Structure 1
Amino acid sequence: MTRPPGPLLTRFQRLPVVGRLVLAVALAMTLVLTGAAGLVYWRVETALDSQLDEDLAAYQQTLDRAVRDGQDLPAGPNGSLSQVLDTDGRVLRSSSVVHDQRLLTSAERAAAAHGAVVRRDIGALLPITDGTLRLRAQRVTAGGQPRIVIAAVQRGHRDEALRELLAQLALASGLTLLAASYVGYRTARAALRPVERYRVGAAALADGAAASPGLRLEVPIDRDDEITRLGHTLNRMLGRLAASAAREHQFIADASHELRTPLTLMRAELDVALHRPRTAEELTETLRSVDAEARRLVTLANALLDLEQLGSGERIQRVPTTLDSLLDDTCAQYRTAAERDGRTLTVAYGPATVRVDPRWLEPAVGTLLDNALRHGRGAIVVRAEARDGRLSLSVSDEGPGFPPDFLPHAFDRFSRAEASRTTPGAGLGLALVAAVAASHGGTARAANISPGGTGGMGVTEAAGAAVTLDVPC
């Protein structure tokens, strides 16, 4: 026994084809936008929570040290709170804001007294409330007695940033959904306009409004798609119907020649579309074009999130790194592409060990190599030299160089030279390079090379462009 469709499916099936297509596009875009917005929100929330947890952990360590040494409770970040309890829950010392107010529940206090680290948020993101906190509590031994030290920091800036992000994501997603629905509606109408024209012509003949044997639908002869084939099929049907009408007329004339019943021939006026018909493939292509923008935000977001993460030097983890391990693997990935273009990629460095964060320096070098491959010409040279506690790392090529008016803005976000606007990219590569240098406490500079100049390691340079990172190591 076939199960009848549900009420929602029944309503959907009763909609016009255009309505169903637009609804399908809207539902698909809603899923895509929701997923993209969720990913962006999660990444931003994770970054903000990580920074807040780092601040809270640092404040907790300062409080623990002060309690062990019997010192006064130190001041922490702006809006931070502190409290010291004994294992029975009595408040021994506290910030003036909370006084004797207990920040822990009985269960949390018992868990902290047994050595567990207690973490909790006070207040919610929505609705907006005052006094939102993130606290951390753990047991500390002071003077031979166990104490519970509580550190808390304000979540106001974090919550405000997330609420603003939610509002912007909702606005951007709503506008994108409206634009996608409108494009889907216009495309579906254009694609189905020939079908409606065919229907009108067939209905005219079926209703007896036209019986001319020459009635045919206007079908393009230079195409072979689904709608064109439908038009040819309808024309064959019209031909058969016209032949059947002719036979019927002859039968009436032969059987009733005494009757002079005139036959009125009528022709249907066909609505000729002014716009070119759109195929289902063109509709699919339109949907694919909407899907790609989204993906630069994340990535921006992601790229912008990377830039924001690099805005704090606390995220840089310097480790001893040899120049060969820093450069060889990275350059090897691009050497094949350079050779395929008939170009050379040379790496010049001396034996040295530097203290940097390779997680960020390697992609920065990769970005410069990618720019040299896409925008430069001739040989590509990577030089690295460690001297007097600083690392100088440069990537140069023999291309046309940077336009003079672009150099002052080379490291600005979304800044692109006019000559590179026809190539893919968002103008964030050099901005990321500058952020990597800044996060290490250094600088990045871009310059054009004069013919015959001498670069580091004693290598004579031809004309071209060079980007140099100078960071302490």
Structure 2
Amino acid sequence: MTRPGLRARAQRLPVVTRLVLAVAVTMSLVLTGTAGLVYWRVQTALDQQLDDDLATYQHTLDRAVRAGAALPPGPSGSLHQVLDARGRILDADPAVRGRPLLTAAERGAAARGHTVRRDVGSLLPITADTLRVQAARVTAGGHVRLVVAAVRRGHRDEALRELLAQLAFASGLTLIAASYVGYRTARAALRPVERYRRGAAKLADGGQDLRLDVPADRDDEITRLGHTLNRMLDRLAASAAREHQFIADASHELRTPLTLMRAELDVALHRPRTAGELTDTLRSVDTEVRRLVTLANTLLDLEQLDSGERIQRSPVALDRLLDDASAPYRAAAGRDGRTLTVTCDDATVRVDPHWLHPAIGTLLDNALRHGAGAIALRATVRDGRLSLSVADAGSGFPGDFLPHAFERFTRAETSRTTPGTGLGLALVAAVAASHDGTARAENTSPGAVVTLDITC
């Protein structure tokens, strides 16, 4: 199977399984390396001791052969052979009297003066009579002799096999323990994720007002994920609430003009009408259509602001901003015999004129339609904030209306007979909020004033 195929299969495994496999593979590599190091250190120590014993015994045999003396006994488990240059055994331990300890190549190397060392038998699989052999050339009485010393490796091999068994057992237990701990740790770490998944599944199945249970006394990656998901759920809930509010507002406010239009048309179609009557009907319908257009545009503007869409701030001269916003209302104020004055600081502010213009226009339009006397538009800049107010000298707001002035479709009883949608001040409040500010309305003596306090 190709490597991409293995990778694809691994990626389809559950996260916990992949984590446990990663821990198991990593621990296997670590344990193998550690066991290899321990085995190498112990083997080196045992071989060093074995080689020291063999070298001492070899030296004793060489000295005895040179002197022509009887070969002395060696340490426990030692063996010896003395060969002539042709490889014939001249003297040997009874256990190896008929068994050559050197191959022909090794005898040739020893005859040329090289020290030959080799092992007889293997550690694994277990073989009987394992030896470590060392041979050297010795000249005695003018003759070349090959002196072979050997020691048994049984104890050394047994110790290494026991060490291998213990290392394998300990490594296996450690690997099992590490895998179990990794499994439990992974399950514990991913348990909140599974809890979050179940909560999201309930929300997907139609659950309402669900929030994830996130511990307040932690600050790890998964906890931060939970807080992020809760913020996302809050925004989804707010978006759904805005959608429901928009639908409710639209259906409530659109019903009246549509009903009036239907009634006008039904009356006009009930019997033949004169041209004048039809003209009056069309004018009435046109008025309602204009109201519908204004209402729809205002609702869409409110939805755009409430959805959290970022405003586009740009530097603009404050006097130019107020002049442009108030210009359409100067003529209307003059026709009513009223004055409209604009005073402001000489400053440049960073605001979004696209939204601030209609907000100022709404306040001026309200002052013209519902107020009386002179109208004053003032703006001051202090400590990075713009305070913008529109005041008139009329009768002010009804006392019971002030707490609800900026709510949608709320209109004072005294203004019910004048055209309007009840969304103007709601739009003003939304524009202020989009600029990180507030809007407030209050009565003065005489008249009323509406103030926007926003960052600039």
Return the TM-score normalized by structure 2: 0.52
Separation of aligned partners in 2, 1:12 and 1:49: 45
1:226 aligns with 2:224: no
The equivalent of 1:88 in structure 2 is: 86
1:157 aligns with 2:152: no
Q: CA deviation at 1:204?
A: 1.5
SS of structure 1 residue aligned to 2:119: strand
Separation of aligned partners in 2, 1:16 and 1:170: 29
The equivalent of 1:65 in structure 2 is: 63
The equivalent of 2:73 in structure 1 is: 75
Separation of aligned partners in 1, 2:63 and 2:19: 65
The gaps in structure 1 that reach 5 residues or longer are: 258-473
Q: Read off the aligned partner of 2:161 and give its amino acid letter.
A: R
Separation of aligned partners in 2, 1:73 and 1:256: 120
Separation of aligned partners in 2, 1:239 and 1:166: 61
- Structure of larger gyration radius: 2
Deviations 1:229-249 (A, max 9, x none): 111111122223333444565
Q: Read off the aligned partner of 1:238 and give its amino acid letter.
A: L
1:235 aligns with 2:233: no
Separation of aligned partners in 1, 2:203 and 2:247: 19
Identity of aligned residues (%): 75
| Superposed CA RMSD | 2.1
> Per chain length, whose mean CA-contact separation is higher, i.e. which structure has more relative contact order (CA < 8 Å, sep 6+)?
1
Q: Does structure 2 retain, via aligned residues, the 8 Å contact 1:112–1:148?
A: yes
SS of structure 2 residue aligned to 1:97: helix
The equivalent of 2:176 in structure 1 is: 178
The equivalent of 2:210 in structure 1 is: 215
Q: CA deviation at 1:153?
A: 0.6
Q: CA deviation at 1:201?
A: 0.5
Alignment of 1:316-331 (within 5 A): none
Separation of aligned partners in 1, 2:3 and 2:64: 70
Q: Does structure 2 retain, via aligned residues, the 8 Å contact 1:202–1:238?
A: no
SS of structure 2 residue aligned to 1:10: helix
Q: CA deviation at 1:185?
A: 1.1
The gaps in structure 2 that reach 5 residues or longer are: 253-456
Separation of aligned partners in 2, 1:149 and 1:30: 47
1:128 maps to which of 126, 129, 132: 126
Q: Read off the aligned partner of 1:221 and give its amino acid letter.
A: A
Separation of aligned partners in 1, 2:223 and 2:186: 16
SS of structure 2 residue aligned to 1:131: coil
Q: CA deviation at 1:255?
A: 9.5
The equivalent of 1:166 in structure 2 is: 164
Separation of aligned partners in 1, 2:145 and 2:50: 24
Deviations 1:144-181 (A, max 9, x none): 11100000110000000000000001111111111111
Separation of aligned partners in 1, 2:87 and 2:201: 86
2:137 maps to which of 136, 139, 157: 139
Separation of aligned partners in 2, 1:139 and 1:167: 40
SS of structure 1 residue aligned to 2:96: coil
Return the TM-score normalized by structure 1: 0.50
Q: CA deviation at 1:222?
A: 3.0
The equivalent of 1:189 in structure 2 is: 187
More helix by share: 2
The equivalent of 2:103 in structure 1 is: 105
